[in-house]
C-alpha cells in the first residue's frame, strides 16, 4: 500500500511553470510600491494640511493672548521696580490663568502632527528607495 502511494505521489509531482515565481515576486513588489506611494502621498498631504493650518492657529493664539491680557501682565514683570518679587507666586498664577490653553493646545497639536507626518513620509521615502534598488 505504501509503495503504491509513493509511486502515485512521485508521478504526480507538481512542476511549476518556469516564470511563476518571477511573476509572483513582481506582483508582490508592485503591490509594495503602490502601498509605499499611497502612504507617502497620504502623509505628505496630512503634513501639508497641518502646515497650512499653522497660520490661522498662530493668528488665533496671538489674538487670544492679546484679549486675555497676557502681554500686559508679562510687561508688568519687566517694568515694575521690584515689587513683583514680593508676590512672585501670585504673579506666576496670574500669568498661568491668563494663558489661552485651547489655542496653545491647537497650535502644539498641529506642530506635532506636522512633524509626525514628516517623519513617516521620510520613512516611506527611504523604504521606496530600498525597494527600487532591488
Q: Kindly report the average pLDDT of the chain as a whole number.
A: 86
Task: Decide: helix, strand or coil at residue 18.
Answer: coil
Q: What is the pLDDT of residues 10-39, one digit of tens each?
A: 666 666 677 887 888 889 889 988 999 999
| Domain assignment present for 122 | yes
* Joined grid coordinates for residue 22: 518571477
| Domain assignment present for 61 | yes
Q: How far apart are CA 122 and CA 113, in angstroms?
A: 14
| Domain assignment present for 110 | yes
* Joined grid coordinates for residue 45: 498631504
Q: How many domains are there within the chain?
A: 1
| Domain assignment present for 6 | no
| Domain assignment present for 2 | no
| Domain assignment present for 12 | no
CB–CB of 98/73 below 8 Å? yes
Domain enclosing residue 81, as ranges: 19-133
What's the whole-model pTM score?
0.73
Q: State what percent of residues in the chain have pLDDT above 70.
A: 84
| Domain assignment present for 8 | no
Amino acid at each position: 500500500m505504501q509503495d503504491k502511494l509513493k509511486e502515485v505521489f512521485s508521478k504526480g509531482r507538481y512542476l511549476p511553470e518556469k516564470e511563476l515565481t518571477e511573476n509572483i515576486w513582481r506582483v508582490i513588489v508592485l503591490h509594495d510600491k503602490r502601498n509605499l506611494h499611497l502612504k507617502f502621498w497620504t502623509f505628505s498631504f496630512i503634513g501639508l494640511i497641518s502646515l497650512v493650518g499653522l497660520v490661522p492657529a498662530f493668528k488665533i493664539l496671538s489674538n487670544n493672548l492679546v484679549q486675555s491680557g497676557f502681554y500686559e501682565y508679562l510687561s508688568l514683570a519687566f517694568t515694575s521696580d521690584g515689587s513683583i518679587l514680593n508676590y512672585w507666586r501670585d504673579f506666576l498664577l496670574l500669568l498661568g490663568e491668563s494663558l489661552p490653553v485651547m489655542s496653545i493646545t491647537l497650535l502644539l497639536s498641529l506642530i506635532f502632527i506636522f512633524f509626525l507626518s514628516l517623519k513617516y513620509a521620510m520613512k516611506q521615502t527611504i523604504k521606496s528607495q530600498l525597494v527600487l534598488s532591488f
